[in-house]
Chains A and B, each alone.
Chain A
Amino acid sequence: MTAPDETFSGRPIVAGVVEGEALVSTETISGFGGIDPSKGTVIEPRHELFGVCFTDKVLVFPGAKGSSGWSGFFQSTRLMGTAPRAMVFNVMTTKAVLGAIVTRVPSVVECTPDPVAAIRTGDWVRVDGDRGVVTILRRAA
C-alpha cells in the first residue's frame, strides 16, 4: 500500500507515463537567463538549483518565471537532447503550460497535496500524464 501522502492527484496536460528520479525546486524557474539548453542546467546565479542538471529528471517545481522565451528555451532542451523526463508544477501560467507541451514530456499540473512540499530530490516517482497522477514509488535513501 502506498501511503496517502505519496500519491498526488492533478490534471494531466501532456500525455504519457514515465518513471524517474525527482529533481525538486522550491523556487520558480526562468527559461531565458535561467537555463542553458545545450547543457540542461540551471544558470541563474541566485537560484537554489544553480549549476544543477535537470536532464532526464522528473522536474518538480512551483512554476515558470521571467521572460516569454520560457517555452522556447525548454523546447530547445528537447531539440538538444537535454530535456527533463517529466514536469510537475502547480502555478498555472501560459509560459509553463506551453513549455510543457512543446517539451513533449508527460506533465501533470495542479496536484494535491503540493508535490513541491512532499517530493524530495532523489525520490523515484511515476508521472502519469494520461490520468493526472504522480506517485512516489521509492524514497531517496
Chain B
Amino acid sequence: MRDGAEGGAVAAAMDLLIRYGEALGAERLCETRNVAGTMTQPSPAKAKLVEEGGWAKSFAVINLDCDDDIEIPRMKVPTCQLQHGFGKDASGLTSYPEQSIVLQGDAESYFSERGVNILATCTPYQVGNIPVRGEHCAWMESSAVVYCNSVLGARTNCEGGASTGAAGLTGRIPYWGNHLPENRFGTHHLAAGVPVDDFQEWGMLGYFVGDAVQEGRPVITGELVNPDLADLKHFGAATATAGGVEIYHIPGVTPEATSLEAAFGGAAVPETLVYGEAERRLVYETLNDQGESTDVDFILLGCPHASLDQLERVARRLEGRRIHSDTELWVMTPAAIRTMADRSGYTRAIERAGGRVLTDSCPAMSKAAPDGTRVMATDSAKQVHYLPAILGIEGWFGTLDECVDAAITGTWRGELSR
C-alpha cells in the first residue's frame, strides 16, 4: 500500500504506520477491522488547515502526518468518530464558540461520506461498537481503551489521532504492546479490604489503582461487589486518569482472568498492595482537594458518557423536584442513548426538573461549562480530576445522591459514607 497503488492517502497512511511501528520496535503490522478515532473535533490548528485546504488538508496533516494535497478516499475498515466538541444541543448554553459547532457539523458531513460512523461518544462500546474477545482494534480515548482490553478482552493500544486515521484507511496497526498475548498478564496485585459496592466506590478504587500502578497491569481482588457496566466504566476511566492503565483483570469478572493465577499467566503472584480504610479516605480527600466553597453552581454527570441505566437513576431522583435557580445540571450521554432516554421518559423527567441531557462531548473536552461557573460537583473521579484544572474552577466529588441534592439546594453537603 505504501507504493501508491491504492492512492496517495493510503500510501501516506501506510508510510506513517511503518514509521510508527519501527519507532515502537514492532515486528510487524496486524490487521484490524475496528477503528475508533477522532477527525471532527474542532481546534485552532485544525480550523486553520481547513481554511487552507478543506477537511482533506486537515485529515492529511492531523490524521496522516502528511503535507501533500491528497484526496481522502472511503475508510477501508469500519471506523468511528469518538467524542468531539459540543454539538447543536449545547448551542447558547456556554461561551463555547458557535463557529466551532458549525465547523464540526461540516466535518461530520465530510467524514460520514467517507465511511466514518459518527458515534460521537467516549463510550463506543455502549452504542453498537462492541469488539469481540481477542479482536485487534485501533482505539483512542483512554477510558474506552481500558474498557476494550479489560472488560471485553479485545486488544488495543492507546492510539492517537494520527495512528487511527492511518488505520482507518489501511486496516492495519502496529502489532505491539497489548496486541501480544504475553503483554496482557498482570504486573501488580491489589486487594480491596473495604467493600467496593457502588458507583462512587468503584471510581475511588480505580483512582487508587491508577496512582499505585501507573502504566502497570493491575489484578484486583478483595471485597468487589457485582460491578455493572457503569461501575467498570467509571473504574477504568479513573485508573487511566490517575495513571496510564490500559488493561486490568478482576478474577471472576473480566474474561482473561479465570483465576488470580491465570491473571498472572502462571508467574508468581506479586506482593499484595491493600486498599483499606486509610487509602480509601485519602483518595476521597485527594478527589475533593479542589473544593472550598459549598455554593455549587454546576453539576456534571455522565463521565464517561452515561448509560441508559444511569439516566434512569438521575430521572428517578429528579422526578417531581426542581433544580435550584442558581444551579445547572447536565448529564452527558451518547446521542443514541439520548434517543432511547427520550422514548423512555427520562429526558422529560430531567428537563422538567430544570436539568439538561446533552450529547457528543463534555465540559473537559470542549473546555466550557455554563457561564459564570465557579464551583462544580460531579460523581466522576475523571471529570473532577480534569475539569477544575482545565477551567480554573473548584470541584467536588461525591455520590449521585449528593450531586442531585446539591443541584436542588445549591449547596454541597457531600461526605464520605461509613
Pair B162/A94 contact, Cβ less than 8 Å: no
Contact of A45 among B16, B19, B65, B389 (CB under 8 A): B389
Bound Cα distance A65, B385 (Å): 14
- Would you call B157 an interface residue if the criterion is a C-beta within 8 Å of the partner chain's C-beta atoms? yes
Which of chain A's residues have a CB closer than 8 A to the CB of B49? 79
Pair B389/A66 contact, Cβ less than 8 Å: no
Take A13-B23, A33-B364, A33-B390 as given contacts and tell me if A101 and B243 are in contact as well, using a CB distance cutoff of 8 Å.
no
Interface residues of B in 155-176 (CB under 8 A from A): 157-163, 174, 176
Pair A75/B161 contact, Cβ less than 8 Å: yes
Which of chain B's residues have a CB closer than 8 A to the CB of A104? 65
Pair A68/B389 contact, Cβ less than 8 Å: no
Bound Cα distance A64, B240 (Å): 12
Pair B142/A68 contact, Cβ less than 8 Å: yes
Pair A101/B145 contact, Cβ less than 8 Å: no
Bound Cα distance A104, B45 (Å): 16
Contact of B160 among A13, A91, A92, A98 (CB under 8 A): A98
Contact of A79 among B48, B141, B174, B241 (CB under 8 A): B48
How many of chain A's residues have a CB under 8 angstroms from any CB in B? 35
Minimum Cβ distance to chain B for residue A93 (Å): 7
- Would you call A100 an interface residue if the criterion is a C-beta within 8 Å of the partner chain's C-beta atoms? yes
- Would you call B351 an interface residue if the criterion is a C-beta within 8 Å of the partner chain's C-beta atoms? no
Bound Cα distance A95, B140 (Å): 10
Pair A94/B364 contact, Cβ less than 8 Å: no
- Would you call A70 an interface residue if the criterion is a C-beta within 8 Å of the partner chain's C-beta atoms? yes
Minimum Cβ distance to chain B for residue A75 (Å): 7
Contact of B142 among A43, A67, A72 (CB under 8 A): A67
Minimum Cβ distance to chain B for residue A60 (Å): 18
Take A44-B389, A65-B243, A65-B244 as given contacts and tell me if A98 and B162 are in contact as well, using a CB distance cutoff of 8 Å.
yes
Please name the 4 residue pairs, one residue from A and one from B, whose CB atoms are nearest each other, closest first. Answer: A71-B160, A13-B23, A68-B140, A79-B45
Can you name 22 A-B pairs with beta carbons within 8 Å?
A33-B364, A33-B386, A33-B390, A66-B142, A66-B244, A67-B142, A68-B158, A71-B160, A71-B162, A75-B161, A76-B43, A80-B44, A92-B25, A93-B244, A94-B174, A94-B177, A95-B160, A95-B244, A98-B160, A98-B162, A101-B16, A102-B65
